[in-house]
Structure 1
């Protein structure tokens, strides 16, 4: 069964990953997000809830 022979496809796999890592990843890392996260300085109210069955 020739489809189980990894010899012709292993180099294709390795070369495609090499191209992606060397050429595309710096472009992806360099891209900045459109909406950077804002600092949330608000405090949360941590008072207990008033349950009706208490």
Structure 2
């Protein structure tokens, strides 16, 4: 069963992980958001009770 031999796949996994974590991730994290979140005050809505027509 060739899939149990980790020799070629382990090195590919390590190089891929290093590429993603050392090269691509800092580039992605350096981007600023085009629409940054704003600090809004939360308004609480006042719940009105439902008036049933038969009461």
**Length-normalised TM-score, structure 2:** 0.73
Quick one: structure 1 residues 51 and 11, their matched pair in 2 at CA, closer, same or farther if it must change by over 3 Å?
Answer: farther
Gaps of 5+ in 2: none
The alignment of Structure 1 onto Structure 2 pairs a total of residues equal to 54
Gaps of 5+ in 1: none
Tell me how large the CA RMSD over aligned residues is: 2.0
- Residue in 1 that maps onto 2:26: 26
**Length-normalised TM-score, structure 1:** 0.74
